Amino acid sequence: MNEAKLYPDDPRLTAYALGELEGDERAAVELALKTDAAARAAVDEIRDTARQLEAALAAEPMPTVKLIAATPAQRAAIVPGRDPRKLDGGPLPLQNLIRFPQACFLVAGLAAACFAVMLTLHESEVGRLEEPINAVKLEEIMKATAESHARKADADAAIVKPSSYTEVTFPVAAIPVGRVELQAKTQEIAEADKKVVLAEAMAPKQNVDAAAPVSRAVVAEKNQSPPQAVAADKTAMLGAAVASNQPAKEETIQISEFEVSAAPVHGYDASETMTGTRVNTAITDLPFADSDFLSVAQNPLSTFGLDAGMASYANVRRFLQAGGRPPADVVRIEELVNYFPYAYAAPRDHAPLAATLEVAAAPWAPTHRLVRIGLKAREVPAGGMRVTVAKDVKVQVAFNPAQVESYRLIGYNGSPLKNKDFSKNVIPPAGDLAAGHVVTALYEIVPVGVELPGGDALKYGKVESQESRVVGASSKELLIVTVRYTPPEGGASQQLEFPLMDHGAAFAEASMDFKFAAAVAGFGMILRDSPDKGSATLAEVEQWAGQGLGSDAGGYRAEFVGLVHQAEKLKE
């Protein structure tokens, strides 16, 4: 393969950058690099990233180790006289094993980890934190947690392993990885006008009963910092309620309740799993309810954000692998769907983005249509820094009232950007689109003539919009996706339109990516126990995912199927 051009998705670039290529392959890449400045820059970037990864991974704390020294009998097994080999791998001098006087920091880092997780959840939800979490509060919490952990660590370090080895124990604080019992102490932190009371929450005991204690977090003063509350459960997931800092509203005083729910929920007996904790986050004024179907007549336009985030998938995975069911509010379907790579066509000509639209029957409700909208930004040749290909991007979906009775955007629950806002002419979210960025949105559509879940018949009329093309009742299109943006170099705003015709495809006729995305959405709905999950079962989710596995580069989809198995096991 002696192509002159090295594209960003060529694994040889990384292999070469890391010194893994040899012989002819190496020579070929070097030749191509000679005339490709962008690719050379990409190689530099890869090496830079590699260095950062090495540094970060080297900083990752080590588990407790007890030095093992072999007995003389075992040493004798080794033929004397040879040199010890030149050992590769990341060398760690002995000193590093006991380098942690900040041990309490590390241990406390676990507590902080959970904050970080919840902060991430919060971030992805509202787009950005209104105010960063106060560093002082976190330090206090970390210290408090460290103290309780140091006590536990001592107990841990005393464990002796039976073996034929002689053991030497180092005084390193134990860093329990995995199930962690956390205690956050109640603290009052006075700071100028601020006053935050952190909840004291105890890790639930092994046998949870319905009368388990409820911990509350109460936020004080208005105008000030976000309230925080901490609840702990055995799988080390903290729930923290973070309210965005809204100025001068009495109503910002939020009370978050953390209760351990032992009631079985639709096949999941929470009392038998580790996690029964439900988290009510008071992030926005809107409850965490699943989207209802919206009638086209009253809500002709819909929108969705470009950045879905990845944290929810990792959190769901963590819960399931720990043997527990993720709380509904941890399951963000749009993040689950967007975690996976899909093959979308790149934009042609000079368009900054392209849309891939597909529609087929919704597998959990075959009389409904499921629409997949994929937006893919233009790639720039290898070596660019994160390049913006379009600024101020706004996405709008307009439905044809002759074909669509109602619709719902799957996921994005609790987002302050409800569809209703759109029809009140509230400005939709606009963001800059980076090169190569991809976002996927799913809509479930109730076609005209199909009865709504509620059984209500809806009237629909002409849909008008000043900003985008009218989807007239006589049009043959199911919907139109309109993307407005400003070119990065400036100039007048531009508009791209992507219509979608529905040819009545059955689910079986859909693409593999479609089937897989549907499986992920179905999985999310089951985990959330969504009223819209229709006839979806985990067994079917697994089937759909199986049909959508494809080549599964990177193993993402296979891992998902594994998670579905885990969830199925929970039911048993």
Partner 1 sequence: MKPTSDQPEESHAHDTHWVETTVARYQAPLTRYATRLLGDTERARDVVQDSFARLLAQPRDAVDGHAVEWLFTVCRHRALDVLRKEGRIMRFEEGAVDRVADAAPRPGHELERAETHAALLRLIGLLPANQQEVVRLKFQNGFSYKEISRITQLSVTNVGFLIHTAVARLRREWTAQAE
**Binding residues among 69-108 for partner 1 as defined by CB under 8 A:** 69-70, 72, 74-75, 77-92, 94, 96-97, 105-106
Point out which span in 169-177, 212-220, 276-284, 497-505 binds partner 1 (CB under 8 A). 169-177
Q: How far is the CB of 17 from partner 1 (least distance, A)?
A: 9
User: Integer distance in angstroms from the first to the last C-alpha of the chain?
Assistant: 52
- Inter-axis angle of helices 512-528 and 556-571, to 10 degrees? 30
Determine the Cα–Cα distance for residues 364 and 386; give it in Å rounded to an integer: 39
Please classify residue 528 by burial: count the beta carbons closer than 10 Å to its beta carbon, then call 0-12 exposed, 13-18 middle and 19+ buried: buried
Residue found by looking up tokens 């759909």 in the block: 544
Nearer to partner 1, 35 or 71 (CB): 71
H helices of 269-344, in order, are 311-321, 333-339
- Return the residues of window 433-492 that contact partner 1 according to CB under 8 A: 434, 436
Nearer to partner 1, 168 or 289 (CB): 168
Angle at the Cα of 480 from the Cα atoms of 474 and 485, rounded to 5 degrees: 140
Figure out which of the listed residues 104, 117, 201, 439 binds partner 1, where binding follows CB under 8 A.
117
**Residue of 167, 113, 120 whose CA lies nearest to 141:** 113
- Write out the DSSP string of 503-564: ----GGGS-HHHHHHHHHHHHHHHHHT-TT-TT--HHHHHHHHHHT-TT-TTSHHHHHHHHH
Q: How far is the CB of 280 from partner 1 (least distance, A)?
A: 21
Residue 550 contacts partner 1 per CB under 8 A: no
Figure out which of the listed residues 112, 390, 445, 480 binds partner 1, where binding follows CB under 8 A.
112
Residue 60 contacts partner 1 per CB under 8 A: yes
Determine the Cα–Cα distance for residues 567 and 562; give it in Å rounded to an integer: 9
- Return the residues of window 282-311 that contact partner 1 according to CB under 8 A: 310-311
Nearer to partner 1, 329 or 405 (CB): 329
β-pairing, 353-362 vs 66-69, is unpaired
Q: How far is the CB of 436 from partner 1 (least distance, A)?
A: 7
Nearer to partner 1, 84 or 247 (CB): 84
Nearer to partner 1, 250 or 572 (CB): 572
- Inter-axis angle of helices 556-571 and 538-547, to 10 degrees? 170
Q: How far is the CB of 85 from partner 1 (least distance, A)?
A: 5
Residue 123 contacts partner 1 per CB under 8 A: yes
Is 312 in contact with 223 (CB distance < 8 Å)? no
Q: How far is the CB of 394 from partner 1 (least distance, A)?
A: 19
Q: How many residues bind partner 1 (CB under 8 A)?
A: 105
Nearer to partner 1, 307 or 529 (CB): 307
Figure out which of the listed residues 37, 67, 214, 255 binds partner 1, where binding follows CB under 8 A.
67
Tokens of 519: 């499986």
> What SS3 class is residue 495?
strand
> What is the Cβ-side half-sphere exposure of residue 405, based on CA atoms within 13 angstroms?
17
Angle at the Cα of 308 from the Cα atoms of 343 and 133, rounded to 5 degrees: 150
**Residue of 343, 346, 379 whose CA lies nearest to 557:** 343
Residue 549 contacts partner 1 per CB under 8 A: no
Figure out which of the listed residues 63, 101, 247, 455 binds partner 1, where binding follows CB under 8 A.
63
Q: Whats the size of the chain, residue-wise?
A: 572
Residue 154 contacts partner 1 per CB under 8 A: no
> What SS3 class is residue 211?
coil
Determine the Cα–Cα distance for residues 65 and 58; give it in Å rounded to an integer: 16
Figure out which of the listed residues 213, 454, 461, 554 binds partner 1, where binding follows CB under 8 A.
554
Binding characters for partner 1, 312-331, by CB under 8 A (x = yes): -xx--xx--xx---------
- Return the residues of window 224-253 that contact partner 1 according to CB under 8 A: 236
Figure out which of the listed residues 38, 41, 46, 473 binds partner 1, where binding follows CB under 8 A.
46
Binding characters for partner 1, 248-287, by CB under 8 A (x = yes): ----------------------------------------
Q: How far is the CB of 512 from partner 1 (least distance, A)?
A: 18
Figure out which of the listed residues 14, 187, 284, 423 binds partner 1, where binding follows CB under 8 A.
14
H helices of 308-411, in order, are 311-321, 333-339
Figure out which of the listed residues 386, 420, 476, 571 binds partner 1, where binding follows CB under 8 A.
386
